[in-house]
Structure 1
Amino acid sequence: MIAPSGRPHGHAKYHLEGCRCLPCRVAASAYDRNRRRAIAYGRWQPFVDAEPVRQHVRALGEFGIGWMRLARLAGVSTGGLSKLLYGDRPRGLAPTKRVRPETALKILAVEPVLENLGDRTAIDGTGTRRRLQALVCAGWPQSELARRMCMDRGNFARTIDRSLVEVGTHKTACTLYDQLWRTDPAEAGIPAHRAQAARGIAAARGWAPVGAWDDDRIDDPEAFPDWTGHCGTPRGRTIHYRIKIPVCQPCRQAAQQLAAA
């Protein structure tokens, strides 16, 4: 039930507007009862120190999550976050010293994960490169991938080798990879000669195919492609020779370590 003032009936209206209707009295009574119980158990914390929350907000800012975006993600007011960081400048008030526990928990719950970053935030391009290169290995021409990503050919050519990419580009590449990695280019109308040309370019540049990557390692810069199922072990080099694929560096190192043992 909404009162004419716009504030819903409940605890706040009971105290701020003096309303004594049944819903307001019940809400106020429940609040006071819970408050007394919390005080009795030593758990009553109407406010907590704002500094750890402020530090978290600034840390998220370094990841490209601005305070206005953070307010939307956390479900808190932009005005409250502004005062937390900058105070109330028109009134000459310093940044907030204390915040409500529930507000602190909402803000602290926001982490700098990919889903929370803005599309223009620059991130490591390892996963993007590997996904796009693997699709070329599968026979998808770069011009076709560029078209599907709504990119011009020149920008795509830079993206497929770029060390940093924007979050939006990475998300688009992930979506495209999920759509195409099990699809034969011929089924999408790609002529055989164009698919073969794409595979030739990938082979010449040493790009790893889809099967060389595990989903949980493809974004890890420290991971290496497993061309043989045994890459990084002495057995891997033998399989490289058998399937006529150039020996990768991890297999070469494993063989050297075995010979030196």
Structure 2
Amino acid sequence: MTLTPPEHGERRCYLRGCRRPECVNANKRYCKRYNYDRHHTGRRRVDAAAATAEAQRLAKVWSYNQIATAAGCDPRVAFNLIHNQLENVSRTTERRILGAHAALDGIPGTALVDATGTVRRGRALAAIGYDRNDLAAELDINADAVGCLLNAKRRQVTSHTAQVMAAAYQKLSNTPGPSTRTRMRAARLGWAPPTAWDDDTIDDPNAHSEWTGHCGTDRGYHLHKTEHIPMCPPCEAGHQQWLAEHQHLKGVELRSVITRARGQAAGRGAALAENARELLAQELSWEAISIRLGADPGQIAAAMRKYPATDDRQMGMAA
């Protein structure tokens, strides 16, 4: 946060030693108000618990700068309240913070919109290595709010948040992030990377990510299994539907059909290995290849071992 320097006519300028008339008068006004409040309204400062709780609730949607603008207080106050760093606040600050929600409706970019596309874009960036601190810096909101966003704790976000997330996604989605830990966590949670989303459908709540090129079908299910790609709900549902449609098959006949489906899925591994070799020949890094092909480096390496190049096979036979 940037601290604004004191200006003449403010009490804080007086406290720094300035004795210009306007600064002296500002100090006198403060002292008079202080004495009046002490005699007529009791303590001027109150416990910060209520203001802190409200500021933290607002911070799940709005930035601390937006909250400070709506409340008419210093951004530092809003920031400290959000991070629970104040034990008490003035009655005026408490009143302004508690009434900030109504004022936020009048600030541009604060209209609420569906959070589906924003959550998906954030998770996609996490899947390629951008942690919540990286995203917070890019979006200019606090990291806790980004965490709530990634964990889909809100159904709506402000239009401003949706816009800056879309801009960050456009900027970062083709470049791997620095956090391996975040990438591994996203894979464990099944968060789809940018390559699994289409720009035309990422905001559609009824659309699903396309991990395999056949997601939502039984073939997609076997592709997930064969290539060790995190299973997506549509493929799980597609496989269950396939089992229901083929429940009349028994024994050898059922195993034969399943084996054929797995064989079709194996073709994707061969294509993955071939494409990876072409990109390696272009001297792309493993991270860049991973982003381009939409597969984890481990999955790509496994496919290359399972499906060696033709020259590799011929050398092995000659040996």
User: Could you state the TM-score of these two structures normalised by the residue count of structure 2?
Assistant: 0.41
Say if 2:202 is the partner of 1:210: no
Determine the C-alpha separation between the residues in 1 that align with 2:221 and 2:145.
Answer: 36
CA contact (8 A) 2:127 2:186 kept: yes
Distance 1:199 1:146 in 2: 17
Counterpart-to-counterpart distance in 1, 2:160 and 2:228: 38
Q: Is the 8 A contact 2:188 2:230 kept in 1?
A: no
Give yes or no for contact 2:124–2:194 (8 Å, CA) kept in 1: yes
- Structure 1 residue 142: deviation in Å? 1.4
Counterpart Cα distance in 1 of 2:118 and 2:230: 24
Within a 5 Å distance, the mapping from 1:164-175 to structure 2 comes to 164-175=156-167
> Does residue 152 in structure 1 map to residue 142 in structure 2?
yes
2:220 aligned with 1:236, yes or no?
Answer: yes
**Residues 105-158 of structure 1: CA deviation (Å, up to 9, x unaligned):** xxxxxxxxxxxx951101100000000110010111211111111111111111
1-side partners of 2:143 and 2:125: how far apart?
16
The residue correspondences of 1:58-97 to structure 2 (distance < 5 A) are none
Counterpart residue type for residue 238 of structure 1: H
What is the rounded CA distance, in whole Å, between the counterparts of 1:156 and 1:249 in structure 2?
24
Letter aligned with residue 226 of structure 2? R
The 2-side partners of 1:251 and 1:137 are apart by 19
Alignment deviations for residues 26-47 of structure 1 (CA, whole Å, 9 cap, x no partner): xxxxxxxxxxxxxxxxxxxxxx
Q: List aligned pairs for 1:43-192, cutoff 5 A.
A: 118-160=108-150, 161=152, 162-185=154-177, 190=178
Which residue of 205, 210, 231 maps to 1:247?
231
What code does the residue aligned with 1:230 have?
H
SS state at 2:110 partner: coil
**RMSD value over aligned CA atoms?**
1.6
Amino acid paired to 2:218? P
Deviation at 1:215?
0.6
In structure 2, the residue corresponding to 1:136 is in which secondary structure? helix
- Report whether the alignment pairs 1:260 with 2:250: no
Give yes or no for contact 2:187–2:230 (8 Å, CA) kept in 1: no
Larger relative contact order, structure 1 or 2 (CA cutoff 8 Å, min sep 6): 1
Shift of 1:259: 2.2
The residue that corresponds to 1:225 in the other structure is 209
Structure 2, unaligned runs of 5 or more: 1-106, 246-319
Distance 1:246 1:208 in 2: 9
Letter paired with 1:249: P
Identity, in percent, stands at: 38
CA deviations 1:82-121 (Å, max 9, x no partner) are xxxxxxxxxxxxxxxxxxxxxxxxxxxxxxxxxxx95110
Deviation at residue 256 of structure 1 after TM alignment: 2.0
For residues 119 and 247 of structure 1, the distance between their equivalents in structure 2, rounded to whole angstroms, comes to: 36
Q: 3-state SS of the aligned residue for 2:144?
A: helix
Deviation, structure 1 residue 212: 1.0
C-alpha separation between the residues in 2 aligned to 1:120 and 1:235?
43
What secondary structure sits across from 2:157 in the alignment? strand
What amino acid is aligned across from residue 169 of structure 2 in structure 1?
Answer: Y
CA distance in 2 between partners of 1:159 and 1:220 (Å): 17
SS of alignment partner, residue 204 of structure 1: helix
Consecutive unaligned residues of structure 1, counting only runs of 5 or more, are 1-116
Matches for 1:193-208 after TM superposition, within 5 Å: 195-208=179-192
SS of 1:179's equivalent in the other structure is helix
Task: Give how far 1:218 is off.
Answer: 0.1
What amino acid is the match of 1:157?
A: G
Letter in 1 for 2:176: D
- Where 1:165 maps in the other structure, the secondary structure is strand
Contact 2:190 2:231 in 1 (8 A): no
